[in-house]
Amino acid sequence: MRETLRTRLGWLHGWFGYGAGLVLTCIFATGSVAVFNMEITRWMQPEVRLSAPVPPSPPALDAAAHLVAAGQARGVSAFIALPSARSPTLDVLHYNGHEFVGTRLDPATGTVIPARVTAGGGLFYNFHHTLFLGPQAGTIIVNIAGMILLVAIISGVVIHLHALVPDIILLRLSAARLRAWLDAHLLMGVLFLPFMVMMAYTGVLVKADMIVPVAPRPAARSVQVPALPPAPIPDMTRVQLAPLLAQARASLAGQEPGFILFAPQRVSIFAGDASSAFLTRDHADFSLPEGRPLPVDATATSIARTMQLMHGLHYARFAPPGLRWLYFLSGLCGTAVMASGLVLFVMKRRCHAGHRWAHRLADGLNVTVIAGLPASMLAFLEGNRLLPASLTGREDWETGIFFTVWALCASHALFNALRVQAHHAWRVQLGLVGLLGTSLPVLDLLCSPAAFHALPGLHMAVDGMGSVAAIVALYARHRLGRQGA
């Protein structure tokens, strides 16, 4: 075999793509769903039936400040999330090591809404950027995978360069199976190239300090700062947040306040992330406990603005619902590109390496990622409806369901694949996705009919996505049955 640039980059694309593709498919799938993380959390808390956001009343803000003070007395550092179009409740949240959890208040009255504790859409968000392996190790793995995605994209473009433009919309359904899969991979890979490059590059860049940190400056190393004693926390129950919020709204120039953060000497009111495509995190500061405005430097250089745009583009929190759907669908198509790449990698090597255990392992891993992950995601949503609302440690139970179902799917897929019965594993797990997806709307209607009536759009969207996943899985199962192993 002669070594050419194409064969060499083909090898790089195949092996790097497959190795990282297993992780990247999960990252892209959960990231696509995490575009709607707040909506999913609302779906998973059917007790919260507020449909439109109302500005928080002074008593509600005071009640929230009381909860923050109570949390700080227990050593929990909480903040207030103001009502927004995506989450109409007034929330007092803290970070539990995986996601932001806390109490939801009615923004009009300040009464606590007795919503069930849930891992919510935060599970997908957390899995997307840390794989649930912790903020340090997980983020580094995700960043490396993102970098490999960029390597795979560049090598893929070079391999396909001669036919990139002419074949941009070429899809031959009647061709041989391998050719049809390759066409589908190339078609979506080329068409969604801008989206995948944008998400991979901005995703790596937002956590750039983890992958390419700058060396600590000598000055910073030599100066030994003695540890300061913790500052006394002022009595926040005496702080009137409503007038501060009005002042902040005036000084944030067109941006709607989104969060209220507390420090020992000050309270900071931050602009909401939905305010602009630039994730500016502009804020207005006030001294505690007097509530006197503090000077804030709001100037940003062009590089800082570029970084804000990169963050904004990746998180997509500024996006109106239509654009959010486009992010979601583009993310799913990106997932399909990677999934088809995984299938192609195994298909191409079946002839000469199908008897090897490594090939069977790869087949089993494909089933785990492509069919097992959606099954566990749907099981997680159904678990939310089936677990008792008052169960202690509910969010851990939900997370447990997600990982247990996925682990079972992985065991089943690997067991079957190693016995040269990957076809059986595909059929069973696609059937499971179909079953879970079709039962999701039924379960939702049976368990929380009032929430369905109060927020029909939200519930139909989540249930509908479950049903669509089921239809796609059942169709794939049907095709698999017709074509054989």
Q: Indicate the residue among 319 and 344 with the shorter CB distance to another protein.
A: 319
d(CA 270, CA 280): 9
**Nearest distance, CB of residue 311 and another protein, angstroms:** 11
Q: Indicate the residue among 179 and 453 with the shorter CB distance to another protein.
A: 179
Helix (H, G, I), strand (E, B) or coil at 353: helix
**Nearest distance, CB of residue 323 and another protein, angstroms:** 6
Helix (H, G, I), strand (E, B) or coil at 132: coil
User: In Å, what is the CA distance from 297 to each residue of 64, 254, 263?
Assistant: 28, 17, 18
Smallest CA-to-CA distance from 94 within 107, 79, 109 is with 79
Structure tokens at 262: 């507390």
Q: Indicate the residue among 82 and 465 with the shorter CB distance to another protein.
A: 465
Q: Which residues bind another protein (CB under 8 A)?
A: 1-3, 5, 8-9, 11-12, 15-16, 147, 150-151, 153-155, 158, 166-174, 187-188, 190-192, 194-195, 201, 204-205, 208-209, 211-215, 277, 301, 303-304, 306-307, 309-310, 312-313, 319-320, 322-323, 326, 329-330, 333
User: In Å, what is the CA distance from 113 to each residue of 45, 48, 105, 361?
Assistant: 10, 7, 5, 48
**Nearest distance, CB of residue 20 and another protein, angstroms:** 12
Region class of 432: left (phi > 0), else alpha (psi between -120 and 50), else beta: alpha
Does residue 24 contact residue 340 with C-beta atoms inside 8 Å? no
The DSSP-derived string for 219-270 is HHHH--PPPPPPPPPP-GGG--HHHHHHHHHHHTTTPPEEEEEE-SSEEEEE
d(CA 120, CA 124): 8
Q: Indicate the residue among 29 and 307 with the shorter CB distance to another protein.
A: 307
Q: Indicate the residue among 191 and 343 with the shorter CB distance to another protein.
A: 191
**Nearest distance, CB of residue 471 and another protein, angstroms:** 17
d(CA 186, CA 352): 24
**Nearest distance, CB of residue 92 and another protein, angstroms:** 31
User: In Å, what is the CA distance from 402 to each residue of 2, 26, 64?
Assistant: 47, 13, 32
Helix (H, G, I), strand (E, B) or coil at 96: coil
Q: Indicate the residue among 69 and 205 with the shorter CB distance to another protein.
A: 205
**Nearest distance, CB of residue 7 and another protein, angstroms:** 9
**Nearest distance, CB of residue 452 and another protein, angstroms:** 29
| Contacting residues for 199 by C-beta, under 8 A, at least 6 apart | 28, 31, 314, 331, 334
Q: Indicate the residue among 305 and 419 with the shorter CB distance to another protein.
A: 305
**Nearest distance, CB of residue 1 and another protein, angstroms:** 7
Q: Indicate the residue among 26 and 333 with the shorter CB distance to another protein.
A: 333
